[in-house]
Amino acid sequence: MLSDVTTPQDLDDRFRDRLTALDAADERRDRAEPVGDGALLTGARALDLFDAQVVSRQLDLAGRWLRSFSEGFYTIGSAGHEGNAAVAAALRPTDPALLHYRSGAFYCVRAAQATPPVSEEDAGEGGDAPIDAAGLVGDGPFTPAYAEAARDVLRGMVASSREPIAGGRHKVFGRADLAIVPTTSTIASHLPRAVGLGLAVERLRRLDPAGRRTGNGVRIGGGGGAEHAPWPPDAIVVCSFGDASVNHASATAAFNTAGWSDHAGLRIPVLFVCEDNGLGISVRSPKGWVETALRSRPGIRYFAADGGDLVEAYAVATEAAAWVRRHRRPAVLHLSTVRLMGHAGADAETAYRTTAEIDADLDRDPVVAAAALLARAGVATGAELLARYDEIGWEVRRIAEEVLDEPKLASPAEVVTPLAPRRPVRVGRAVADAAARASGPGAAARAEAFGGKPPELSGPLTLAQSINAALADGMLDHPQMAVFGEDVAVKGGVYGVTKGLRDRFGPARVFDTLLDETSILGLGLGAGLAGMLPVPEIQYLAYLHNAEDQLRGEAATMQFFSSGAFRNPMVVRVAGLAYQEGFGGHFHNDNSVAVLRDVPGLLIAVPARPDDAAAMLRTCLASAAVDGSVCVFLEPIALYHTRDLYADGDNQWLAEYPEPGAWSSGHVPVGRARVYGVGSAEDLTIVTFGNGVRMSLRAAAALAEEGVGTRVVDLRWLAPLPVGDLIREAAATGRVLVVDETRRSGGVGEGVIAALVDAGYVGAARRVAGVDSFVPLGPAAHQVLVSEEAITQGARTLLAR
């Protein structure tokens, strides 16, 4: 038995003693009746919720048992939080849920809700087993749905590759058919996504496939296609977290954005559930603080319930869910809980809690409280409930033994397969299909959107103008694409890059957000999860660092931790890099991209030329739509409005915008470089990107006057690097100068040199990189940034070897 696993609190022994001591009711109650006067819970539903709580408790014991002989890898359990079973029962199985790691009972109930109701013929001998409105069977504690849920959780504990959501990559609560979205263990980082998901659910129910407002059902789609939205139009989002998470910056951002949006008249149907056990590992939440913090949030309705009281928790959760569903506004359910068996298996609570405190929590065991409710109501006796507990325990132990021998992920390929799928042929086909639509059935709409003068007839464009035109074409081709961020709508962006888009496509698809990068990315994460194609803007690269975990911990991990069942495609536009004249300092001239290149699976594009910018943006949008890619489109601010290359007035940094018929032939695949030949192009290879492309071309022209032939390789993609093109062009000359406008330490150049070494390159190589410094204000910036003079001097030094 799993009860043989001892705990510091002897939780199992106490449970048995308490149930044995329960008094039987004077008479049996019909399970179809409420368990008490005015109660919403029937006896049948209360018994099913008790069973779900017991399954969760037995899973916690199983986790300790597995860990006792090094076969289990996760012991953070749900003991004490089993009251969240009532929250699950108050919701619909089609309401998307983002759950924290003490949600075992919620998961079991959701699994039962999503299981088709059992017919009377199949319910048991004689067909007389009671069936409540949720399709839960009251007789037989370990239903097939609970067995399946238990197997899911146990597979996660032992890192089985057959686990249904993460496939052994992480222990998470998640399953696509249960509308449970997996979340990482990063505290509160999933809350901004929940807000974004709520906003997206509401926006999608108001828009038709063309992105227009409608009162009809929701359809989503891209590239001219359409498919049903993943959740019903009246769905609400539920997001759970612990009391300690209330203090996290991500939680503060999410609450603030939800309240701000509500105050602005935007509807966000999110039910936050704070499960308050008073502890963050060993740190206590000050008494009354959580309630004060949650009650004070403007625009968020506050509900509170005792998680140890099934009747109260179910009633209040039902009220809260109904309020959010009816009003389409955010609310928080403050559910008081206890934490039993410590934070995790290695946690010795006696190091920071008194015996009296631990005993007080044990006296509030929610599973004991549910048993007492059922006995008091005449639904079952203590002995009968204990028998159910033991039956479930035996079954959980049996499943635990079965999953022990299931296969684990056994190769790097198995681990990374769902991380960031790349299907370049499909992406190229998507670009070609977009071109066909733009020149065919969508030609009239395109002409109207551009006021009768499409960008290909507007003459050569700057980098900013080319991006603007490509965004407009993207909006036309992807009906659920949305552009949003600080100042992008009414103002058209600080640099005018999104100018006119709001007028063309309306405020539902191009809108300003509050000034908070975490929330901007959270909106994108939720919108992508809901089936939209979000294009959020981060106003400056330096501001991204406030919110980088939303990319690292949430965006990039979604397909990895869901085996591709969920995805959050998006293209994050970031204005960045240095060399702005007359405006700057560090925050407007940030040249650090190391934090982006370190994120597995993230696609990073850096266009330098206007023609590359349009083509690469189309590739990013197609990759997001086809593969669910998370793309960062890093736009060099100093090149936004640059017109000239070699001399004032030469206009050689401008480029014509291609007509749709040329999009396919001009397609830029992910991870392909662009090569410029200057002179004979036989003596030196300069590898660079962004602002370095223009500086290197100017330096190459100067070198050509000295008889040096140079090929300039514009990487264009910083992740994945165009290694094949890089090796080929390096081998062509045997001399490589890496021009890296980021920093010497942690800069892009390190990756380029490493790629050359790994490929066996034996020629000469040298770097010219920015100094390891923040970018100072004014002329001092030139002391730490790469210059044309430094490039030419580096080239001469390399050629002299």
Evaluated on CA atoms 349, 355, 357, 362, the torsion sign reads positive
Contact (CB, 8 A) for 199 and 266: yes
Q: Which amino acid type is present at position 751?
A: G
Cα separation, 437 vs 473, whole angstroms: 11
641 carries an active-site annotation = no
**Other CB atoms within 10 A of residue 759 CB:** 15
Instruction: Give the DSSP letter string of 136-194.
Output: -BSSSSS-HHHHHHHHHHHHHHTT-TT-TTTTTS-----BGGGTEE---SSTTTTHHHH
Q: Sheet containing 630-636: give its strands across.
A: 510-512, 481-485, 533-538, 570-576, 630-636, 603-605, 717-719
Cα separation, 260 vs 514, whole angstroms: 8
Helix boundaries (H) for 705-747: 723-733
Q: Which amino acid type is present at position 784?
A: V
Q: Which of 648, 525, 31, 573 is nearest to 250 (CA)?
A: 525
Cα separation, 65 vs 249, whole angstroms: 36
Secondary structure class of 401 (helix, strand, coil): helix
Catalytic: which of 81, 248, 588, 667?
588
Helix (H) or strand (E) holding 77: none
**Which contacts qualify for 218-222: CB closer than 8 Å, 24 or more apart?**
220/480, 220/530, 220/531, 220/532, 221/479, 221/480, 221/531, 222/477, 222/478, 222/479, 222/480, 222/481, 222/533, 222/625
Helix axes 463-477, 424-439, angle to 10 degrees: 90
Contact (CB, 8 A) for 690 and 741: yes
And the tokens for 560?
Answer: 């990895």
Helix axes 11-20, 382-403, angle to 10 degrees: 150
The C-alpha angle 410, 415, 419, rounded to 5 degrees, equals: 170
The C-alpha angle 796, 798, 801, rounded to 5 degrees, equals: 110
- Catalytic amino acids? 588
